[in-house]
Each structure stands twice: as structure tokens, then as C-alpha cells.
């Protein structure tokens, strides 16, 4: 028996509803997607490494410890240690 496509097996096809027209101008302000932040809070994910730990990581690296050893010591990933050791790392 030959296979039929789903559209050919349906006796009636439902008309698609037209796309709604744009009623506002493109420069109209958009509604806020989330409430404003409370004062004193930074958006995003909290930092894993405190400023004290950052200093300790830099000190261990200056003393010759490898990135892997430092990461195991502070139970963070090697990428996190590399990020702390970057010359453009933010001073928090």
C-alpha cells in the first residue's frame, strides 16, 4: 500500500490565521521584562572566588604552584584559576 503524506489524508485543511499586524511603532518603549534590581546587588551569577581567595591564588602561582594544584586546593576549576590570573582580571 502506498504511503500518503499527512496533508493528503486530511479531508479538510484548516486555514491559517493571518499574522497579527504591528500596532505600535518600532521605537515605542518595550515593557520591562523583569523588575528593577534592589540597590547594592549585582546582576548575574554570584562569584565563586572571594577577593581573599583571589589574592591567595595569585600568591600561590607566584610561588610556583601549578594551576591544577591551585584549582584542587580551592576546589574550583582550572578555568576559574586562569581567569583569576589573567592580567585584565577585575579587581573586586
> What is the model's pLDDT at position 64?
96
Output the pLDDT for position 46: 84
- Give the per-residue pLDDT at 67: 96
53 class by beta-carbon count within 10 Å (0-12 exposed, 13-18 middle, 19+ buried): middle
Q: Report pLDDT for 78.
A: 96
pTM for this structure? 0.52
Domain ranges of the chain: 51-85
pLDDT in tens, the chain (92 residues): 666 656 555 556 666 666 666 565 666 666 667 666 667 777 788 888 999 999 999 999 999 999 999 999 999 999 999 999 998 755 55
13, 16, 20, 23 from 10: Cα distances, Å = 7, 15, 27, 35
- Rounded to whole angstroms, the Cα distance separating 7 from 72 reads 59
**pLDDT given for residue 7 in this prediction:** 58
The predicted pLDDT at position 34 comes to 66
**For residue 52, which of 87, 84, 88, 86 has the smallest C-alpha distance?**
84
Amino acid at each position: 500500500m502506498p504511503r500518503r503524506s499527512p496533508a493528503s489524508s486530511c479531508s479538510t485543511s484548516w486555514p491559517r490565521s493571518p499574522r497579527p499586524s504591528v500596532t505600535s511603532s518600532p521605537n515605542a518603549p518595550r515593557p520591562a521584562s523583569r523588575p528593577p534590581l534592589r540597590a547594592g546587588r549585582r546582576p548575574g551569577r554570584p562569584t565563586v572566588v572571594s577577593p581573599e581567595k583571589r589574592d591567595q591564588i595569585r600568591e600561590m602561582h607566584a610561588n610556583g604552584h601549578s594551576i591544577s594544584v591551585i584549582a584542587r586546593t580551592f576546589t574550583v576549576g582550572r578555568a576559574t584559576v586562569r581567569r583569576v590570573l589573567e592580567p585584565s582580571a577585575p579587581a573586586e
